[in-house]
Chain A
Amino acid sequence: MTITVQIPTALRRHTSGTDKVTCSAANLGELFTVLDSQFPDLKPHLRDEAGQIRRFLNVYVNEEDIRFLGGTSYAFNDGDEILLVPSIAGGWE
């Protein structure tokens, strides 16, 4: 089984410019493990200190927000395209 992950420009600094990763991760947890091992610098940008996915990072599977698919319990299917997209908030003070 193969899935593809698109890396947004904002994160490519931590992937030596790599914009796409192909792997056989079965779910989001495994995908993060794959990315952690390939790009150690990327790790803190995807998850916070408690290991939770960062608040302003949205994950999409074939254009659908992964939270509608069951989130971390969603099992990837062969050919799934994963998008990591920053949530654009305007800030608060």
Chain B
Amino acid sequence: MTYALRCRECGKSWGNQPRSICEECFSPLEVSYDYQAARSTFTRENISAGPPNMWRYSALLPLPQGFEPVVPAGFTPLLKAAHLARQWGAKNLYVKNDAVCTPTLSFKDRVVAVALANAKSFGFDTVSCSSTGNLANAVAAQAARNGLKSWIFIPADLEAAKVLNTQVYGAKLVRIAGSYDQVNRLCSQIADERHWGFVNVNLRPYYAEGSKTVGFEIAEQLGWRLPDNVVVPMAGGSLITKIKKAFNELMELGLVERKPVKIFGAQATGCSPISTAVKAGQKDIEPQKPSTIARSLAIGNPADGHYAIKTISESGGWSEDVNDSEIVECIQILAETEGVFTETAGGVTVGCARKLYRQGRIKPEETTVLCITGNGLKTTDALAGEYEAEQPIAPKLSEFQAYLGKQLDVAEAVGV
């Protein structure tokens, strides 16, 4: 596939190199493709014949010549969410379940797989990132798999599981006493000095393209058609723009029929720079100081905020946000109705979708996909205190019968 970096604003071409901003106008770089050439390679037939992972879409990913995948990320289930739909009076509701994306149980495995393919071809022996957790896990695991060293920078207050899930792969973990935005700013400065492949700094244009595979999969799994709506959680705001780019590419290359898709963004109220801007009709975000249990979404100064707002507004979508107690409630609702245990970010997505149905912005009969991007096992502390530890009973049938009787009494008392 022929691809190159191009400035999003002034159009200058930068070839292929570890670089994310245009030195002419300081604007972000984007991977552009030869779509004419892709017409013969990016076809339904070729994709169907490909492997059961994200590499089936290689023809529209920025992958160096001779790239051999070592991580079978992606192609996660698209689940029809009938029970959740019934609860909301909806009819065609789906969950795109990246809680089971491999190898590290979040959609970040997709972006890192593409970033590291390029890191190796650029000759980096060390890769790095600033992260709210999931990215840290993905970089650490895939660096190990690719034989690269990794340096990971995180805010000091991350969930214990996300810290452990980084350290176990042998990554050098640097905890920063500050917010993600401060970690990110520091990493921009470090990337300026060290010859490291920062997946979300100097490799960011390549990295971000990996997110398109979520959009490609949704369309393919719906039988090569686009949904009416997607609801996407937003941290830095990159995923939502890339899902839209994927839909556009599928329409452009004739893999799906053209149709408008409304793009809805989901944030936590305690960190809602993008949804605040969308609701106020603004084109740019005002940075915030995050305070939310959805730490994977706690980016107060989202780099792609401007483009996320544009994506949402131009699609006719909307953005909502939910508070911490709604996040916990919606983690439980998704688990109880569909058997999917998501992290706090997924609680945000489910909670915002519920609001959007109630507001009538999403109609019951429309085909709607909720993007669940991470796994609940990484943020179990969010549920601390929600469930009482049961007193053990003796291994005797009579004990169990007594226990069951008590349970039934309780159920009757609360009217279940």
Contact = CB atoms under 8 A, between A and B. Distances in A.
B287 A91 contact: no
Interface stretch (A28-36, A58-66, A72-80): A58-66
A93 B21 contact: no
Interface residues of B, number: 44
A90 B241 contact: yes
A91 B301 contact: no
Nearest to A64: B182
Contacts of B182: 63
B8 A93 contact: yes
Interface in A36-73: 44-45, 54-58, 60, 63, 65, 67-68
A9 B20 CA distance: 13
B30 interface: yes
A45 B7 CA distance: 14
Contacts of A91: 8, 28-31, 205, 208, 241, 307
Given A88-B303, A90-B303, A91-B307, 17 more contacts: A8-B188, A10-B26, A11-B26, A60-B185, A63-B185, A87-B303, A88-B20, A89-B238, A90-B205, A91-B8, A91-B28, A91-B30, A91-B208, A91-B241, A92-B244, A92-B304, A92-B307
A86 B188 contact: yes
Contacts of A8: 188-189, 192
Given A91-B307, A93-B8, A93-B248, A86 B287 contact: no
Contact of B188 (A63, A88, A92): A88
Nearest to B245: A93
Interface string B150-167: 000000000000000000
B8 A92 contact: yes
A85 B248 contact: no
Given A56-B26, A58-B185, A85-B188, A90 B201 contact: no
A83 B32 CA distance: 31
Contact of A58 (B284, B289, B301): B301
Interface in B194-223: 200-201, 204-205, 207-208
Contact of A56 (B27, B201, B205): B27
Contacts of A86: 20-21, 26, 188
Contact of B286 (A10, A57, A67, A92): A67
A55 B306 contact: yes
B366 interface: no
B287 A67 contact: yes
Nearest to B239: A90
A8 B186 CA distance: 12
Given A8-B192, A10-B21, A83-B189, A89 B26 contact: no
B301 A65 contact: yes
A92 B26 contact: no
Given A63-B182, A83-B185, A90 B242 contact: yes
